[in-house]
Structure 1
Amino acid sequence: MHIPPYYKKAGWQKFFAGMFIGGVIAYAIFLFMYGTHFENWIEENLMLRDEIRDLKDRAETLNKDKEELNEKRKEQLVIQSVEIVFLNESKLLSQNLTDRLSIYKLRELAKEQIHDVIGKDVSSVADNERLIIKSLESKIYRVDEFTYELEVERLIISPKLTVSLQIKITKN
């Protein structure tokens, strides 16, 4: 079997030359596009790596600062919550002198009176304990048609400020 000698004809030579040159040009365009894309990808990758490194450094610094602040905060305890305890609550309820809703409202009024101590240092609250006692005892609390006075029996100053009170009904 014999392959015809197309390479000798000018038409076929131009066709094969055009295919070869077209393939070379297409490959050059492909390399240029791929190279440009790869270069942009590498540049973006390096920028993102730098940004990640910066963010990790910032996070590490912030965590160290947070730990230092937590250690300082532990040294200086702060008031986190206030608890009001009525010592004669059960006695007043059993004698039907007041109801649970009035006790609840009275507790909320007392908490409102001293809510400013939340977030303060325990030491500064301890220095001003007389002020807290006077602010609770000097006010007359009105709930519904009853008027109440509170007398502080015990004040426990810790991260949870506990105030033990006696309820006195002054006016029916």
Structure 2
Amino acid sequence: MRVPTIHRYKNGQRFFFGTVIGALVSWLIFLYMFGHMQEEQAKTIRKQREQIMELEKEKNIWQEDFKKLNEKNKQLLTVQEVIVKIENAEKYRIDPLSVFEVEESVKEDISMVLAKDLHLVYESRDLLKRVIINKPVKINDKRYRLTIKEIVIYTTLTVHLELILDD
């Protein structure tokens, strides 16, 4: 059996060329549609990348702010400074240098509370009072006792003291 020649059958030629031309047209339409869809996908991916980068930057900013806020809150919850003030030194006519020295020695005695948690310092306030009250003070060859007039426990520990002449 042999294959018939193609130029004899005009209908077969038309069918074959119609199929080839149809395949070419459909392939071109497919390429156009596929290219258009891929372009749209590329644009979407590009937009999403930019959005992801923006969100990453924003997330980093929020994390840094959160860390700073945590550090600030951590500092707010600890004793940062100790202030000691003797209020009635004028009553006994004590010079300012001696008052300063007594205030500094009391600060040294209670400096253990620096950088401690406020709750811990509050719980140990009786110990602080005993440390201050049991400290004998000698100024100008006279002995004095310290009494606590007021104590404020916050990020700054403030202690207001009074001198009493010890007999």
Question: Which of the five TM-score ranges fits, normalised by the shorter chain?
Answer: 0.5 to 0.7
The aligned counterpart of 1:83 is: 83
- Does the Cα contact within 8 Å between 1:105 and 1:143 map onto a contact in 2? no
Tell me the CA shift for residue 109 of structure 1: 1.0
The aligned counterpart of 2:97 is: 101
Other structure's SS at 1:89 match: coil
State the percentage of identical aligned residues: 24
Unmatched 5+ residue regions in structure 2? 1-59
CA shift digits 1:9-41 (9 cap, x unpaired): xxxxxxxxxxxxxxxxxxxxxxxxxxxxxxxxx
- Does the Cα contact within 8 Å between 1:78 and 1:119 map onto a contact in 2? yes
Which amino acid is 1:80 matched to? Q
TM norm structure 1: 0.54
Tell me the CA shift for residue 135 of structure 1: 0.6
Tell me the CA shift for residue 101 of structure 1: 1.4
Corresponding position: 1:112 with 2:113: no
- Does the Cα contact within 8 Å between 1:85 and 1:163 map onto a contact in 2? yes
The aligned counterpart of 1:73 is: 74
- Superposed CA RMSD: 2.6
Distance of 2:133 and 2:99 partners within structure 1: 16
The aligned counterpart of 2:161 is: 165
The aligned counterpart of 2:128 is: 132
**Inter-CA distance 103–156: structure 2 relative to 1 (3 Å threshold):** same
Equivalent residues, number: 108
Tell me the CA shift for residue 66 of structure 1: 3.5
Bigger Rg, which one = 2
Which amino acid is 2:82 matched to? V
Other structure's SS at 1:164 match: strand
